[in-house]
Structure 1
Amino acid sequence: MENMNVHRSIVINGDLKFTNVSRVLQSKTFGKMITTFVNELEIRHSRKLKAVIPFRDENKSFDLEKFRDFVTLLNMKPLKDVMRSGYFDIQYGVDEYTAIMLDFLEGFYNYWRNIQRFMVKNESYNPDDGAKRSKAHSLASNNDSLKKLVLDLYRNILYNVTGKSLSIYRQLPSGAQVSFLVDHFDFPNDIKSKNDSLYRVPYVWEAIFEPPVIFYTQSSKRNGVFPIKKDKKILERFYMDSESWYAIPVKAGRLLIIAYCHKDFLELGAGLFNLFELATPEEFLHKKPDGAVFFGLDKSLFEEDEMRGFVVKEDGVYYGMLPNDPEIDYFGYMKKMILTLHNIIQIKNFWLPIHGAFAKIRLAGEKPVNIMLVGDSGAGKSETLEAIHKLPKELGCDVDILIDDMGSLHFNKEDELMAVGTEIGAFVRLDDLQPGYAYSTMDRSIFMNPNIVNARVIVPQMTYEEISASTPVDYIFYINNYEKIDDAHAPIEMFDDLDTALAVFSEGKRMAKGTTGEVGITTTYFANPFGAVQLKSEHEKIAENYFKRMKEKGIKIGVIRTQLGIPGFEQDGPFVAAESLVDFIKHIK
């Protein structure tokens, strides 16, 4: 068990077989963990420090090796026998030290469980499905062994400290929260970049989650946009240590993106598995990626205006660069950098990237209607679609979500407007979901900072085949979350004038919900700070052309008011919007 940033996360060596307690107690990881735990207790002047007074040397420093010996014996013998052995200078009475040690034990056990725990096993990739399943089962079994070992160790020591057996046993998550199978691949020279370290790091080709998965990051909001730095060369200015970095290849829609993640931010990398389709070695070994993201680079590489990330293009590939900075330790930065690269590439391909949600809505016995909802973060796109599921069952509503946050529009050879998605999952605010929804999906969700404002959950929702296919668009609505529904503002309004519609979409107005660093009424060009803002002049030409062609094709454009930005309407607002949308569909001729 090595490789750890002990304050936040641990990377467990999955190549080891966890068969006995001594492997844990004698590891460097245990030593670092217990030492750091004691240091944190000293900073807080905690009463738990009484437990380690007998393990101070003549300089009053914590004697780790003596404590290891103590815990090893305590795993085998009752505390009173260990104290009477004379091996340790414990000046407390048995009853008093029992209470002290129990408090310390519970604190350290919770400390272990609160650290973000990952297991990584090196396994040669084999395309055979049977071989892949066998290797995944082996990794899962090894993590089960670790979990059992930790629980047994805790329970043995607890019994030997208190002298009492438990009446209730709780099988708490005690092993790795996420396990990865990784391999080092040989890349053809014709797809390599100038930085050879990109091909020396381990590439993840399979992952196993132990729900419920809960991560706590150092930030909970995203600020600003990622500037594009033209003519900047950076690839040869850094080197990634293969012991500290992991490559996670994903597909953002039809584009191949490689996310290189420093181990200090591995929880952000883990979140990608619920949001994007994992690319296979057959896909990433035979072509250059369309883009790559680096999360956790040394801050010395970044200028003042780049500290929240920036984009460059070298050798025909777009790169998103993000520093090792606690202020951007938030999944929104990882997700939005990938989507920014996606959108920039789509603009260059003359497609129209859309910050919105897209769903196929079918009422009982009726033909499905394909609805695109456009709006910035916190506008109520996902919340409105989720609220449809809460409508009375007799309405017979069936919703297939094909785009949850970001997609793109294009006209096919038959000149039909088509939508293509990017993500197979959703990254949504817990507060804006219908009560109980997040907990009903706990077995497959990843929770981020559930204890604070802007708590989020990443939940898989769609298949890659669904989101990557081209699907016709019937209606497009702008999501207005800041106007209250009244006699002058209907829940749904359609635009008669193309210029007015384009002006509303281009202004991108919303009431900020605390999902970013913005507050109050804000405007963002086309509600899309992820590529559209950076390439505004190019995007404007594409948008004007697309809206003109939409009008010619009879595709209706309108606005839906969710009231999500109005205090007191966080739940009812999207519900009313959902009711109005279903009623609108019901009356389509």
Structure 2
Amino acid sequence: MENMNVHRSIVINGDLKFTNVSRVLQSKTFGKMITTFVNELEIRHSRKLKAVIPFRDENKSFDLEKFRDFVTLLNMKSLKDVMRSGYFDIQYGVDEYTAIMLDFLEGFYNYWRNIQRFMVKNETYNPDDGAKRSKAHSLASNNDSLKKLVLDLYRNILYNVTGKSLSIYRQLPSGAQVSFLVDHFDFPNDIKSKNDSLYRVPYVWEAIFEPPVIFYTQSSKRNGVFPIKKDKKILERFYMDSESWYAIPVKAGRLLIIAYCHKDFLELGAGLFNLFELATPEEFLHKKPDGAVFFGLDKSLFEEDEMRGFVVKEDGVYYGMLPNDPEIDYFGYMKKMILTLHNIIQIKNFWLPIHGAFAKIRLAGEKPVNIMLVGDSGAGKSETLEAIHKLPKELGCDVDILIDDMGSLHFNKEDELMAVGTEIGAFVRLDDLQPGYAYSTMDRSIFMNPNIVNARVIVPQMTYEEISASTPVDYIFYINNYEKIDDAHAPIEMFDDLDTALAVFSEGKRMAKGTTGEVGITTTYFANPFGAVQLKSEHEKIAENYFKRMKEKGIKIGVIRTQLGIPGFEQDGPFVAAESLVDFIKHIK
């Protein structure tokens, strides 16, 4: 399967100042885009190819430079005048070629707007806040200039082709969707790995988004788990070209993870900025990372059982390896690999990683209650917490989400059970959100594949200070999305028996919701295929110890039924669960 991102994304040179139309037309970006567009038209045998017949050389190949000259003139003169000039061998009448060129122009303009557009500017990092702001403003201004020039060029040519001015002007997004400031840093030898290319690629230290940001990936589901290859050595078997790779340093909770992203998958790297806190050079230049992810490595490095990614450990660092394969071109693979590394490290630290959500819920006039919801993808963790916002305002519900998808539990020095999060954002299904919620946050959200099943949105929700702090846990619930609420199955039930509670959590049962390749009722150990499954024996010992200590501390353990996996309950199920949870909190003594 061909990687279509080669043709559906573009990296614009932000070092180039876009001050006039000539800069746009003479840029490598324009040359690449128009050539790729013509090639795709040839593959489809499109009628739009009539427009470029006059710009073929003696070998019938597309003459890019001649076409550049044509567009440059067409930006200044009418199509009729350009054709009459005799500079180009256009064997059509004016009216016929006007229709042909209009069709081509609209097609190319839509092609440009539909590809994933990134701008990258090399800029020396300066820790001074004033200097950083100035450089960010300069990059944003350059992107604004590009957007204006593209719109002006389109409108000028449209007028010169048709001879008609527009009645309605739409300021459509036409520049880069995301812009990056990058720098090349000098790393101390004592923190370097055996692969020197890790330190030659540009590191992103700031990003600017131009909303609404919508990306289309080649896959929309995640399958399988990432195996740990204990004896495999791979770091010295590949080299990253500094022209094709970007390093994005993030903090997964309290851990430093470097994500190395091939330019063909830059939309996945961009999604990280809404999900994790960006690490600063002061943080990643003076210590080894806890882990690193490589997304887009050559497939020849991977064995058959590794084609959806695997984990290795070398020189005391965990590495997540993902191939350049369109079948894993999905943000879930990037996110879950980072979280898998996080969980493996936490298990080694004797912490208990939790696949779940954690929130501080406060009712009017009452003290807050800290609730942990545990469940696999599609169980309804985030959806239940979001549904609380839709409850009547008279209830006075206030919800602070501290963990959206993954966190970890530990006992502090005072022997209190504490939770720590990993992400500052949420990666959630559009279908399962309350109607209108995602669009109310459109100015901050990143939309992924909004046109298909399992459409997703990445929404920033929390601050890093909130999610990285240790917060006491009052109640822990397993999320059951497959049982209908009836006389025999209450919305909320508490476990009296520790063994029963541990068995339910360990079984990890749920109704698959199309978020992965699974269908029907599935079971995943502790609802956590991201580290817990791979290190099951170690995790079991930690879980048994933690549950025993929870019981001793009087921390209540129960189950909440969201009904999210039952057809027809996608909206009402989490709403009923939210109502029941709030009612439960109201009656806590």
Q: TM-score normalized by structure 1?
A: 0.99
Contact 2:493 2:560 in 1 (8 A): yes
Q: Which secondary structure state, in structure 2, belongs to the residue aligned with residue 241 of structure 1?
A: coil
Change beyond 3 A, Cα 1:55–1:120:
same
Could you tell me how far 1:377 is from its partner in structure 2?
0.2
Deviations, residues 560-582 of structure 1 (Å, cap 9, x unaligned): 00000000000000000000000
Could you tell me how far 1:163 is from its partner in structure 2?
0.7
Could you tell me how far 1:100 is from its partner in structure 2?
1.2
Change beyond 3 A, Cα 1:450–1:4:
closer
Could you tell me how far 1:57 is from its partner in structure 2?
2.7
C-alpha distance in structure 1 between counterparts of 2:543 and 2:44, whole Å: 57
C-alpha distance in structure 2 between counterparts of 1:23 and 1:212, whole Å: 26
Instruction: Specify the alignment match of 1:422 in structure 2.
Output: 422
C-alpha distance in structure 2 between counterparts of 1:292 and 1:59, whole Å: 48
Deviations, residues 211-243 of structure 1 (Å, cap 9, x unaligned): 000001111000000000002111111111111
C-alpha distance in structure 2 between counterparts of 1:34 and 1:470, whole Å: 53
Moved more, 65-74 or 277-286: 65-74
Contact 1:178 1:270 in 2 (8 A): yes
Could you tell me how far 1:3 is from its partner in structure 2?
16
Could you tell me how far 1:42 is from its partner in structure 2?
1.8
Could you tell me how far 1:6 is from its partner in structure 2?
5.2
Deviations, residues 534-584 of structure 1 (Å, cap 9, x unaligned): 000000000000000000100000000000000000000000000000000
Q: Which secondary structure state, in structure 2, belongs to the residue aligned with residue 228 of structure 1?
A: coil
Instruction: Specify the alignment match of 1:202 in structure 2.
Output: 202
Contact 1:6 1:33 in 2 (8 A): no
C-alpha distance in structure 2 between counterparts of 1:251 and 1:65, whole Å: 46
Deviations, residues 380-423 of structure 1 (Å, cap 9, x unaligned): 00000000000000000000000000000000000000000000
Change beyond 3 A, Cα 1:218–1:3:
closer
Change beyond 3 A, Cα 1:422–1:194:
same
Deviations, residues 485-508 of structure 1 (Å, cap 9, x unaligned): 011111000001000000000000
Change beyond 3 A, Cα 1:6–1:550:
closer
Deviations, residues 38-77 of structure 1 (Å, cap 9, x unaligned): 1211222222112112222333322222211111110110
C-alpha distance in structure 2 between counterparts of 1:123 and 1:23, whole Å: 20
Deviations, residues 89-127 of structure 1 (Å, cap 9, x unaligned): 222221221111111101000101111111111111111
Q: Note if 1:93 corresponds to 2:93.
A: yes
C-alpha distance in structure 2 between counterparts of 1:6 and 1:360, whole Å: 44
Instruction: Specify the alignment match of 1:138 in structure 2.
Output: 138
Contact 1:250 1:277 in 2 (8 A): yes
Could you tell me how far 1:164 is from its partner in structure 2?
1.0
C-alpha distance in structure 1 between counterparts of 2:439 and 2:147, whole Å: 24
Change beyond 3 A, Cα 1:39–1:270:
same
Q: TM-score normalized by structure 2?
A: 0.99
Q: How many residues align?
A: 589
Change beyond 3 A, Cα 1:14–1:578:
same
Change beyond 3 A, Cα 1:139–1:2:
farther
Could you tell me how far 1:309 is from its partner in structure 2?
0.4
Change beyond 3 A, Cα 1:201–1:420:
same
Change beyond 3 A, Cα 1:522–1:359:
same
C-alpha distance in structure 2 between counterparts of 1:571 and 1:73, whole Å: 56
Deviations, residues 254-310 of structure 1 (Å, cap 9, x unaligned): 000000001110000000000000000110011110000000001111111000000
Instruction: Specify the alignment match of 1:305 in structure 2.
Output: 305
Q: Which secondary structure state, in structure 1, belongs to the residue aligned with residue 549 of structure 2?
A: helix
Contact 1:258 1:291 in 2 (8 A): yes
C-alpha distance in structure 2 between counterparts of 1:443 and 1:149, whole Å: 23
Q: Which secondary structure state, in structure 2, belongs to the residue aligned with residue 570 of structure 1?
A: coil
Q: Which secondary structure state, in structure 2, belongs to the residue aligned with residue 418 of structure 1?
A: strand
Instruction: Specify the alignment match of 2:505 in structure 1.
Output: 505
C-alpha distance in structure 1 between counterparts of 2:258 and 2:63, whole Å: 44
Moved more, 91-100 or 228-237: 91-100
Could you tell me how far 1:528 is from its partner in structure 2?
0.1
C-alpha distance in structure 1 between counterparts of 2:314 and 2:459, whole Å: 34
Matched residues, percent identical? 100
C-alpha distance in structure 2 between counterparts of 1:447 and 1:385, whole Å: 20
Supply the RMSD in Å over aligned alpha carbons: 1.9
Q: Which secondary structure state, in structure 1, belongs to the residue aligned with residue 581 of structure 2?
A: helix
C-alpha distance in structure 1 between counterparts of 2:138 and 2:256, whole Å: 29
Q: Which secondary structure state, in structure 2, belongs to the residue aligned with residue 548 of structure 1?
A: helix
Deviations, residues 297-355 of structure 1 (Å, cap 9, x unaligned): 01111111000000000010000000000000000000000000000000000000000
Contact 1:4 1:11 in 2 (8 A): no
Contact 2:223 2:516 in 1 (8 A): yes
Contact 2:505 2:526 in 1 (8 A): yes
C-alpha distance in structure 1 between counterparts of 2:431 and 2:290, whole Å: 35
Contact 1:25 1:72 in 2 (8 A): yes
C-alpha distance in structure 2 between counterparts of 1:450 and 1:127, whole Å: 38
Moved more, 463-472 or 167-176: 167-176
Instruction: Specify the alignment match of 1:192 in structure 2.
Output: 192
Change beyond 3 A, Cα 1:350–1:285:
same
C-alpha distance in structure 2 between counterparts of 1:568 and 1:178, whole Å: 38
Contact 1:2 1:13 in 2 (8 A): no
Contact 2:295 2:322 in 1 (8 A): yes
Q: Which secondary structure state, in structure 2, belongs to the residue aligned with residue 484 of structure 1?
A: coil
Q: Which secondary structure state, in structure 2, belongs to the residue aligned with residue 12 of structure 1?
A: strand
C-alpha distance in structure 2 between counterparts of 1:61 and 1:197, whole Å: 38
C-alpha distance in structure 1 between counterparts of 2:436 and 2:166, whole Å: 32
Q: Note if 1:269 corresponds to 2:258.
A: no
Contact 1:6 1:32 in 2 (8 A): no
Instruction: Specify the alignment match of 2:566 in structure 1.
Output: 566
Deviations, residues 153-210 of structure 1 (Å, cap 9, x unaligned): 1111011011111111111111110001111111111111111111111110000000
Could you tell me how far 1:4 is from its partner in structure 2?
12
Contact 2:192 2:288 in 1 (8 A): yes
C-alpha distance in structure 2 between counterparts of 1:346 and 1:36, whole Å: 46
Q: Which secondary structure state, in structure 1, belongs to the residue aligned with residue 334 of structure 2?
A: helix
Contact 1:2 1:28 in 2 (8 A): no
Q: Which secondary structure state, in structure 1, belongs to the residue aligned with residue 271 of structure 2?
A: helix
Contact 2:2 2:326 in 1 (8 A): no
Could you tell me how far 1:2 is from its partner in structure 2?
22
C-alpha distance in structure 2 between counterparts of 1:300 and 1:553, whole Å: 52
Could you tell me how far 1:5 is from its partner in structure 2?
6.2
Deviations, residues 471-497 of structure 1 (Å, cap 9, x unaligned): 000000000000000111110000010
Q: Which secondary structure state, in structure 2, belongs to the residue aligned with residue 321 of structure 1?
A: strand
Ranges in structure 1 where 5+ consecutive residues have no aligned partner: none
Moved more, 51-60 or 440-449: 51-60
Ranges in structure 2 where 5+ consecutive residues have no aligned partner: none
C-alpha distance in structure 1 between counterparts of 2:103 and 2:6, whole Å: 21
Change beyond 3 A, Cα 1:293–1:49:
same
Contact 1:2 1:12 in 2 (8 A): no
Change beyond 3 A, Cα 1:5–1:428:
closer
C-alpha distance in structure 2 between counterparts of 1:51 and 1:6, whole Å: 25
Could you tell me how far 1:22 is from its partner in structure 2?
1.7
Q: Which secondary structure state, in structure 2, belongs to the residue aligned with residue 431 of structure 1?
A: coil
Change beyond 3 A, Cα 1:180–1:3:
farther
Q: Which secondary structure state, in structure 1, belongs to the residue aligned with residue 7 of structure 2?
A: coil
Deviations, residues 426-454 of structure 1 (Å, cap 9, x unaligned): 00000000000000000000000000000
Q: Which secondary structure state, in structure 2, belongs to the residue aligned with residue 490 of structure 1?
A: coil
Change beyond 3 A, Cα 1:252–1:485:
same
